[in-house]
């Protein structure tokens, strides 16, 4: 979850560090922008909006949730 004190750059650097050290996926939720960004692989990121469904089944089997449910 992005806090008001976090900069985008700081959060992105942390996510990319976790990927580089072996995480399958890193999920960053930005309540202000109402988005969920999933980092996978080196430099790979996808952004889902509140209207979309987030599917992390490759990292957590069966995990699929509407982004809005994570924001409300």
Question: What confidence score (pLDDT) does residue 36 get?
Answer: 96
**Are β-strands 64-66 and 53-55 bridged in parallel, bridged antiparallel, or unpaired?**
antiparallel
Written as six digits, the tokens of 63 are 């995990």
Full residue range of the structural domain in which residue 12 is found? 8-71
Question: What confidence score (pLDDT) does residue 4 get?
Answer: 83
Instruction: Say if 14 falls within a structural domain.
Output: yes
Distance from C-alpha of 55 to C-alpha of 22, rounded to nearest angstrom: 19
Per residue in 1-55, pLDDT tens? Answer: 888 888 888 999 999 999 999 999 999 999 999 999 999 987 789 999 999 999 9
Question: What confidence score (pLDDT) does residue 53 get?
Answer: 97
Give per-residue burial for 8-23: e unless 16+ CB within 10 Å, then b: eeebbeebbeebeeee
Instruction: Say if 1 falls within a structural domain.
Output: no
Q: Total structural domains in the chain?
A: 1
Q: What is the pTM of this model?
A: 0.86
Instruction: Say if 53 falls within a structural domain.
Output: yes
């Amino acid at each position: 979850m992005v806090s008001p004190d976090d900069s985008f750059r700081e959060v992105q650097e942390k996510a990319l560090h976790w990927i580089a050290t072996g995480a399958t996926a890193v999920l960053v939720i930005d309540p202000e922008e109402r988005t969920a960004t999933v980092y996978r692989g080196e430099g790979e990121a996808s952004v889902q909006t509140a209207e979309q469904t987030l599917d992390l089944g490759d990292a957590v089997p069966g995990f699929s949730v509407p982004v809005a449910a994570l924001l409300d």
